[in-house]
Amino acid sequence: MRRREHMKKWIINSRRELLNRRIFTMEELECYHPEKKITHNFAIINTSDWINIVPLTDDNRFILIRQHRLGTDEITVETPAGLIEGDEKPERAAERELLEETGYAPKEMILLKKLTANPSIMSNSIYFFLARGCRRVAEQNLDSAENIEIQLHPLSDVLRMIKENVLNHSIIITALSLYFMSPYCDEEINYF
């Protein structure tokens, strides 16, 4: 397949807000493509950047959370995560969300990778962090709409939960995979 050297981008002629909610807005963009000479409308979702944390205790247990997710109407098992608020630094957001959702604080917070959430329809990025040496320092401080149960699991449990589809959230699998592929994972992962 031949790659074009100078691919032209769509030109955004206009934006129209379709929906405005607490955590996102949805816009319709009217765009023109200079090579194709066509106009087309696209919908995009604007939201704050997200953080996702792979937290490990001093004895290398994963801190996971269980909660009901209304999108799929399931109780899911996940890594702690949340929105970056305003001008908050991603690392600070990760520390804040970890403490609020679990009561744990890390000795060290390491950025594993920054990725786009879904560039076809979303404007935001996700910062994936590894939180090492986590210790319980407080009680959970949950938002009024949060109901989160904390679980501690060794690596063998986490791998089994991925295989058995207990862990089935694509962002959580990405977070764990980034950790498994990182130089910080000192265990040999034999998933298959």
Per run of 10 residues, the mean pLDDT along the chain (length 192 residues) is 77 96 95 95 96 97 96 96 96 98 98 96 97 96 91 95 94 96 85 58
pLDDT of 42: 97
82 and 38 fall within a common domain: no
CA–CA separation, 34 and 31 (whole Å): 10
Q: CATH number of the domain at 96, please.
A: 3.90.79.10
pLDDT of 1: 60
Residue 59 in domain: yes
54 and 104 fall within a common domain: yes
30 and 96 fall within a common domain: no
pLDDT of 2: 64
CA–CA separation, 162 and 168 (whole Å): 7
Residue 172 in domain: yes
56 and 107 fall within a common domain: yes
CA–CA separation, 129 and 118 (whole Å): 19
29 and 101 fall within a common domain: no
pLDDT of 187: 79
